[in-house]
Amino acid sequence: MKHNPSSKQNQRISRISETTLVIGTDIAKHQHVARAFNYRGLELGRRCLFQNDENGLLNLLAWAESIKQEHGLTDVLLGVEPTGHYWFPLFHFLKQRGVEVVLVNPHHVRRSKELDDNSPTKNDIKDAKVVAKLVLDGRYTQPQLPEGVYADLRVLMNQRDRLCGDLNRVKGRIHNWLDRFFPEYRQVFKDWEGKASLITLQHFPLPQDVVGAGETTVMATWKNNGVNRAVGPKRAELLYRKAQTSIGLTEGATAARYELAMYLEQYTLLCRQIERLMEQVAALVEQIPGASHMMSIPCIGLVTVAGFLAEVGDLSGYEHSQQIVRHAGLSLRENSSGLHKGETTISKRGRCRLRALLYRAALTMVAKNPEFRALHLYFTTRRENPLKKKQSMIALCIKLIRVLFELGRKQKHYDASKVLGPHREAQLQAAA
């Protein structure tokens, strides 16, 4: 079934009837603003200022209930502009009490705030009205916040991103240290993160430490710490020679040793934390139906599937894969008028983490997956409307969404013969 945005908007407009109280809210850190309207857009009652705590939210409910009783209304639809994270407590509080909360796009609020007064003025009271008007026009979406195992998964994957960022920064500091104090080190150990290299940096960080210890002591240290492969007399001799002729800094040696030891301690801790975290992620992913089927795709592993589900949530909440495409900000936008044909680009109005995850996965798929590699070659070399490499990667990201959605929803394993389909197969054969 083809996804039809216009039909969805009509359904959202039909949701609002003569008995619906529409409330627009402007969310802040400490104090929120709410304004109430009927289905025709007429404001009801005075605006409500309420604090971001339990008493404030109870005051909001009492205010809404009094307006309902005064005007004979039966249900409430409350709109929120989801800027920042301050709206999360409000959403969960109202959801637990049966109040329906919907979201409006911050871009829509910014672009439509001048419609009433032809003024670019921005304030909380005005924004609350703009939010309510957008809800009345059906320009809202249902919140897709993760629940249960999906909520845990999002928290863990967000934490993994932060830990990986911290780890990359620590790696950069170690690279910086080596460039200053032992620039020849990576001529001996191309991968300084190997076991033998880490032991060397812990026991003999500076060139003068290596020279002072000698080749025999270095080799003995490796063996005493359980390193028996990939290193031997030749590696020890090379390390000694490079240390003898090193151009690294010699001043501040005591502080340099302490600095590197601190970095290595941080590196080890972060690696251990990421490993433990991924064990928790693996346990959660096992509980999600269809996750194992999604990982049957060649080159798609735990990190990709976990990251995808953390951003998307329960796949049963989507009617069509195009909804996820829009959620990722990968839907196309065109800039054309009359005879002018502008460049088509992606909207980027969606989850940036999901978009980045899909792009990294698509890069791997193009390199190692035969079906995706064939598609990339076809997109970039076809006779009519060939795509640039990056445009092709975007198309493959969308293709990957559809494959993941199909396998996860129907709980089917990856079938290479069905990825392309007969129509695309014919196109590929004709282009060959």
Model pLDDT, residue 297: 94
Q: What average pLDDT score do residues 58-63 get?
A: 95
Residue range 152-171: mean pLDDT, rounded: 97
Give the pLDDT confidence score for residue 2 in this predicted structure.
53
Which pLDDT score is estimated for 5?
A: 61
Across the range 330-354, mean pLDDT stands at 72
Work out the average pLDDT over 107-128: 77
Instruction: Provide, rounded to the nearest whole percent, the portion of the chain with pLDDT above 70.
Output: 94
pLDDT band per the 50, 70, 90 thresholds, residue 383: confident
String of DSSP letters for 262-316:
HHHHHHHHHHHHHHHHHHHHHHHHTTSTTHHHHTTSTT--HHHHHHHHHHH--GG
Percent of the chain with pLDDT over 90: 69
Q: Which residue has the tokens 């998964």?
A: 153
Antiparallel, parallel or unpaired: β 100-103 and 75-80: parallel
Question: Phi/psi at 102 (nearest 5 deg)?
Answer: -125, 165
Which residue did the predictor score with more confidence, 296 or 117?
A: 296
Q: Which CATH superfamily is domain 15-136 in?
A: ATPase, nucleotide binding domain (3.30.420.40)
What pLDDT shows up at residue 1?
47
Q: How far apart are CA 365 and CA 317, in angstroms?
A: 27
Three-class SS state of 25 = strand
Residue 339 has pLDDT above 60, yes or no: no
Handedness of CA 306, 312, 316, 318 (dihedral sign): negative
The dihedral built from the CA positions of residue 112, 117, 123 and 128, taken in this order, carries a sign that is: negative
Q: Within 31-85, where are the H helices? A: 54-71
Residue 371, number of CB atoms within 10 A of its CB: 20
DSSP letter for each residue of 90-119: HHHHHHHTT-EEEE--HHHHHHHTTTTTS-
CATH 1.10.287.4070, domain 152-282, yes or no: yes
Q: Name the 3-class secondary structure at 191.
A: coil
Task: Give mean pLDDT, residues 28-45.
Answer: 92
Give the residue from 115, 11, 19, 33 showing the smallest Cα distance to 67. 19
Q: Report the distance separating Cα 52 and Cα 27, nearest Å.
A: 9
Q: Where are the domains of the chain?
A: 15-136, 152-282, 291-335+342-431
Rounded Cα distance between 142 and 350, Å, is: 14
Mean pLDDT of the 91-108 span = 90
Residues 6+ apart with CB under 8 A from 224: none
Average pLDDT, the chain: 90
pLDDT > 90? residue 9: no
Residue type, 237: E
pLDDT of residue 240: 96
Predicted confidence at residue 4, as pLDDT, reads 61
Report pLDDT for 335: 59
Contact 38, 74 (CB under 8 A): no
Say yes or no to pLDDT of 52 above 80.
yes
337 has pLDDT over 60:
no
pLDDT confidence bin for 343, thresholds 50/70/90: low
What pLDDT, in 10s, does the model give residues 264-315? 999 999 999 999 999 999 999 999 999 999 999 999 999 999 999 999 999 9
pTM above 0.85, yes or no: no
Separation CA 316–CA 84 (nearest Å) = 27
Cβ-Cβ contacts under 8 Å for 327 (sequence gap 6 or more): 144, 311, 312, 350, 351, 354
What does the buried/exposed string (b/e) look like for 66-77 if buried means 16 or more CB atoms within 10 Å of the residue's CB? ebbeeeebeebb
